[in-house]
Amino acid sequence: MGKRKRQRESTTVSKRPKEIKLPTVISSDEPVIEKKKWTNKQRVLIFSSRGISFRSRHLMMDLRRLMPHSKSESKMDRKDKLFIVNEVCEMKNCNKCIYFEGKKKQDLYMWVSNVPRGPSAKFLVENVHTMLELKMTGNCLKGSRPLLSFDQTFDSDPQWQLLKELFTQIFGTPSHHPKSQPFVDHVFSFSIVDNRVWFRNYQILEEDGSLAEIGPRFVLNPIRMFEGSFIGSTLYQNPHYVSPNLYRRMLRKKVSQKYVSRVQSKKSLEDRRPEESYKTDVTDDVFVTIRPEQAKGDVKNLFYRNV
């Protein structure tokens, strides 16, 4: 049998506790460690064409402030074709686009597109109220991420489902975006009323769900949806849409109709008015006598007064 090794007697050594060194810098003063978990690479290009009004420009600036994942670009010439926007987005490394198009310095159209393959949608922007114009009591942190609230009507028809997906990808701030803040303190509300999309922005005041409107607010009247980005076959066309030119023409026609009806009523009154109101008899004035006090003109010479 082999020899067994003798087990050495364990000697107890007194271990001193290790010294704990505190950092010389306070944790609040340490630089924030950037989280490299930005996986949803969504970048939105927000710009406009030349000729938009001041209110439209302020609305565009408000959207840029509310969306930290957005980028800006100089105004595009109105003579350029719309498919050039895809090239601009490619140079800016953006895969989503919000393009404001102004016409006649009073009509504002908004394009929402998924670059470069589509789909895209065109809206008429109505009832625009900016943040400076409303003077709401609510406020939110710049760069904070919003909650997106959609009406139940968005799940009813295919065109609303498509718009819901587009709005989710465009207005939703990606998680851990470098320019975003790790807070959720406001809500983007999308609701459908009268075949239009109503946009509202609310601040979350308390945990119980109380809200205060911040602004901006506007209404999107859908016109047409395309298969591609600013081009392609039509997926949906709004049958209830009335162009601003036609609407203004109807208003002018309505006002002019009042004048025409008033002139026609006067003319008909003159045509219906008889030459003689009632028939008179010539002999009725035979026994009518005139007193001297009531005589006027040459009739006074017929009366002789004693002096």
Residue 264: CB atoms within 10 A of its CB come to 10
How far is residue 185's CA from residue 141's CA, in Å, rounded to a whole number?
7
Which has the closest alpha carbon to 218: 109, 101, 97, 91? 109
Q: Can you give the pLDDT at residue 30?
A: 61
Please give the C-alpha separations between residue 66 and each of 156, 184, 215, in angstroms, as whole numbers: 29, 12, 10
Cα distance between residue 124 and residue 247, in whole Å: 13
Residue bearing the bigger pLDDT, 40 or 64: 64
Q: What is the mean pLDDT of residues 64-68?
A: 93
Residue 221 has a pLDDT of 96
Bigger pLDDT: 132 or 119?
A: 119
**pLDDT, tens digit, for every residue of 211-256?**
999 989 999 999 999 999 998 999 999 999 999 999 999 988 888 8
Hey, what amino acid is at 42?
Q
CB atoms within 10 A of CB 96: 22
pLDDT in tens, 146-204: 999 999 999 989 999 999 999 999 999 998 888 888 888 899 999 999 999 999 999 99
Query: What's the pLDDT score for residue 1?
Result: 47
Residues facing 46 on adjacent strands: 72, 98
Cis previous bond, 274, omega within 30: no
pLDDT at 116: 87
Structure-model confidence comparison of residues 214 and 40, the more confident one: 214
Mean pLDDT of the chain: 85
Q: What is the mean pLDDT of residues 58-76?
A: 93
Give the model's pLDDT for residue 225.
95
In the prediction, which pLDDT does 83 show? 87
pLDDT at 45: 95
CB 192, CB 169: distance < 8 Å:
no
Contact predicate 181/140, CB 8 Å: no
pTM of the model: 0.73
With bands split at pLDDT 50, 70 and 90, how would you rate the model's confidence at 277?
confident
CB 190 within 8 A of CB 148: yes
DSSP state of 120: E
- 44 by Cβ neighbours in 10 Å (0-12 / 13-18 / 19+) ranks as buried
Q: Which pLDDT score is estimated for 307? A: 45
Dist CA 245 CA 83 (whole Å): 25
Q: Is the bond leading into 119 cis (omega within 30 degrees of zero)?
A: yes
Q: What number of other Cβ atoms are within 10 A of residue 232's Cβ?
A: 15
Tokens 């008899």 belong to 281
Distance, in Å, from the CA atom of 179 to the CA atom of 134, rounded to the nearest integer, reads: 27
The better pLDDT of the pair 8, 115 is held by 115
| Mean pLDDT within 26-54 | 78
Residue that wins the pLDDT comparison between 278 and 267: 267
